[in-house]
Amino acid sequence: MANPIDADPNRQRETSAQRDGNAQQRDTPAAFFRGNPAPDARTGMNPIALRRAFADHLHYSRARESMSATPFDRYVALALSARDRLVDRWTKTQHTYYEQDVKRGYYLSAEFLLGRALVANLQALDIYDSFKTVLGELGLDLDELVEQEPDAGLGNGGLGRLAACFLDSMATIGLPTYGYGIRYEFGIFEQVIRDGYQVERADEWLRFGNPWEIERPEHAVPVSFGGYTERVPDKRGGFRVVWRHSEQVIGVPFDTPIAGYQSNTVNTLRLWSARAGEEFDFELFNAGDYVHAVHEKNQSEVISKVLYPNDNFDKGKELRLRQEYFFVACSIADIVNRYNRVHPDFSRFAEKNAIQLNDTHPAIAIAELMRVLIDDHLLAWEDAWKQTVGAFGYTNHTLLPEALERWPVALFERLLPRHLEIIYEINRRFLREVMDAHPQDQDRVARMSLIEEGHERHVRMAHLAVVGSHSVNGVAKLHSELVKRDLLRDFYDLWPERFNNKTNGVTFRRWLLACNPALAALVTEKVGPKWVTEFERLRELERHLEDPEFIERIAAVKRANKVALAKVIGQELDINVDPSSIFDVQIKRLHEYKRQLLNALHIVALYLRQKRGEPVVPRTFIFGAKAAPGYRQAKLIIKFIHAVAYVVNGDRRHSGLRVAFMPNYRVSLAERIIPAADVSEQISTAGMEASGTGNMKLALNGALTVGTLDGANIEIRDAVGPENFFLFGLTADEVIARRSEHFEGRSAVAADPELREVIELISSGFFSPEYRELFQPLLDRLLGRDEYMMLADFKAYSACQREVEAAYADRQSWLRKSALNIARVGEFSSDRTVREYARDIWGLTPVEIDLGAAMSLV
């Protein structure tokens, strides 16, 4: 986004000192408004009010004048100006929900990968252009202020970004919903690349505070751990269970407004921060033992310090379980308290509350709600269970058995003794139902039990989520079928009515309107502005595909985005890339099944072709990925990609290929890469990617997909047309068959001369001359079991990439395919997905927020 004052080449440029001085004259409240009527700086939407709001916040909220203000001061002043305009809508939204006693939806997720909020909120309020003009008049560039905002470090990958897209869609549609999660002080990590290796640094995204959030200490929740349980007499002549905890942590909520796009709805994301029950032991402090005096504070607050601690050791496992129970306990308490404000008993709890579990991380919520209803509110088991199952829905996000959480029973018993008792009772009653349905099948009983027997007993959290929910959904058609057929087959046989599919989607507000404004403006020109909330209208673009001018304008937008990304790559990596080359993009969490390594092997093959003098279409390969800190194989793949990049980029005799690994992949970086992509690499091993949402974002911005029949790729291919999608590779069933045949990668090498040449070059130490055995662990896994079918699929992948080269050479055909992708992916809007959840699982309906209605203050 260019600064408007840069548009006139004849305009005399101000020096930075002149600019600051002039801005000081213009944005000091007293100077600018002396003798003028004061506009409504809190709620006014006209340029005068916006200018006053910005000046006021700079002066009164940041205690700065323009000469002393930093860019961050100005960003905060702008953010607070936008937040002011959300507050009326926010309070009115919550008041309306209470006033109408609506059914509410609660989205529980360990991750919310929000990205930056400023642009999204300005666009939601329809004041983006106005503020850009106002700031331009003050000599300030809105784009520069946007860069001051750190990405909110609340997620790792697709799971968290999906949750963020859902929040946007829920608010835009007007659904009465809330998000619940953890306010991580440090995100997953900041990725730094040193000598080709990933190095993790703390992601201090809250270092300078967060102007969007509001702390709510008055709604703090105590959370218990440890101790023991005992049975005590109750007033009815029976007994009740009391949990005598040994430690307590306080959960303090921080609320962030989630604005619906150009609507009056502003929902809430409530994130919990852990505080100690006691700040410090005063006696120890007075005695001079300062370290132990704050021991409890440090132990308690570590719970919300970092996203996903490394669980390769026992303390890491314990901390992760503490995290999950902490945010679940806080959230369930909040939900119950809100319900209790207007309802005399729990007979309508499920009728008024829908709680969605985003994967297995929050599955302990089922046991927690049962504990609250039985122990705190004295419901009978049957009544509590009816309300629990009626309220909960469970979304499965993985087909990898190792990714379905399992907690050692011993750890559970030590940290959450009451919950283990409740899980045992749920399991006892559930297994009775299984035995009644299958009297002679003890193997089935063992498979379905919530407790996995063995050398060390484990609690199966996915089983708990299925048993305690009335709905279980996958996130793509293939994924949902594989969940029913393979992963949870026994449960599907017992309760087929519980299982359904909800194919994921992405918010077009973030992933087209905000990140690719030039393309968004062109779409608006052709189909009108309603496409932003009415995704079906994108299809109307097809009417313009025979218009050469329209196609050329799409090409010009793509070219400009590629030039902009090339500049970023040059500045950050010192790599000179050609914007006319194919920008081939693979950006996602690094895991072997996502097969970044297959992509890298193909780059080696192209390099060898180039060295032999064969023609190679110029191509720039762009990677962005973080590997989990304890995932050694993934981190070695990052090193390999950098080793290949070092050789390819450094070969001065052949300049057709470039490899750029963009460090510290995050939402704001994705917003730069996706609009510039020509090719979208969605090459996961078939049957292993639940859905994918990066594939949707890239197609929406005109990238053509190279992909397997995996996850949502299948539905994207059906939508855009097989002729506009580059398909290769084994199917999910073929992958299973190869594994059952004990396929080994060396057989693929023996049958493919090109692949053999690639493997031999790597094995020779060509990419690691200082340590020739460096990449042998990668080769050993490939040549052996080849679990992720990289060598098995290499020949088909290489052939598919030749098709890509041939297609790119036909410029007009390529541009038409790109335009068709944009026009036909409307169904992958998260608005559609959320409407399906609301209709089929949650039973929610949109609520209209009337800002003009009177509101009593409570």
Active-site residue set = 397, 588-589, 594, 693, 697
Q: What are phi and psi of 851, to 5 degrees?
A: -70, -20
* Structure tokens that stand for 338 in this block: 């809100």
Characterize 371-406 residue by residue with b for buried, 16 or more Cβ atoms within 10 angstroms of its Cβ, and e for exposed: bbbbbeeebeeebbbbbbbbbbbbbbbbbeeeebbb
CB 604 within 8 A of CB 569: no
Measured from the Cβ of residue 226, the count of other Cβ atoms closer than 10 Å reads 14
* Structure tokens that stand for 214 in this block: 């509001």
* Structure tokens that stand for 802 in this block: 């030749």
> Distance between CA atoms of 270 and 249, rounded to whole angstroms?
17
Report how far apart, in Å, the C-alpha atoms of 362 and of each of 85, 213, 228, 270, 329 are: 33, 23, 23, 15, 10
CB 616 within 8 A of CB 661: no
CB 228 within 8 A of CB 417: yes
* Structure tokens that stand for 21 in this block: 């001085």
Report how far apart, in Å, the C-alpha atoms of 441 and of each of 144, 223, 447, 564, 638 are: 65, 41, 10, 63, 47
Place of tokens 């505070």: 209
- Please report the DSSP string for 407-447 in residue order: EEHHHHHHH-HHHHHHHHHHHHHHHHHHHHHSTT-HHHHHH
Report how far apart, in Å, the C-alpha atoms of 477 and of each of 392, 473, 657, 725, 843 are: 22, 10, 37, 18, 22
Which long-range contacts link 763-769 to residues 24+ away (Cβ below 8 Å)? 766/647, 767/640, 767/643, 767/644, 767/646, 767/647, 768/643
For residue 32, count CB atoms less than 10 angstroms from its CB and return exposed for 0-12, middle for 13-18, buried for 19 or more.
Answer: middle
> Distance between CA atoms of 354 and 368, rounded to whole angstroms?
15
